[in-house]
Amino acid sequence: MPSTREWHSYLLILIFLSWFGLGFWKGWGYCAITDMHWSVKKRRKEELLTDSYVKYLLDKVFKRDFDPIRVNQVTVGLFAFSVLANLLTR
């Protein structure tokens, strides 16, 4: 669908700008949405929060402790694949 493809492109751009734009000042891979999510969870007294929302979800869903380095590698790899696929299918 052309309309969702356009929104997908915008989302990829926002993720890139957050990870590498804001990340320049706040730490590479910084995500503003994850930061807001963690603020809410901390106010609700939830503990054991990770640096990565993806790792947090994987740990919670599969009830195990995934390697954070591997999770970040796969996340970046899938993001790069998504960007490449988005560019090549235009």
- Is residue 58 predicted with pLDDT exceeding 70? yes
* Mean pLDDT, range 67-84, rounded to an integer: 96
Helix/strand/coil percentages in the chain, nearest 5: 75, 0, 25
| pTM to 2 decimal places | 0.82
> Pick from 12, 10, 33, 30: which is nearest to 21 by CA?
30
Q: What is the pLDDT of residue 28?
A: 86
Query: Tens digit of pLDDT for each residue in 37-53?
Result: 899 989 999 877 788 89
Mean pLDDT calculated for residue range 22-32:
89
> Please, which pLDDT band fits residue 27 given cuts at 50, 70 and 90?
confident
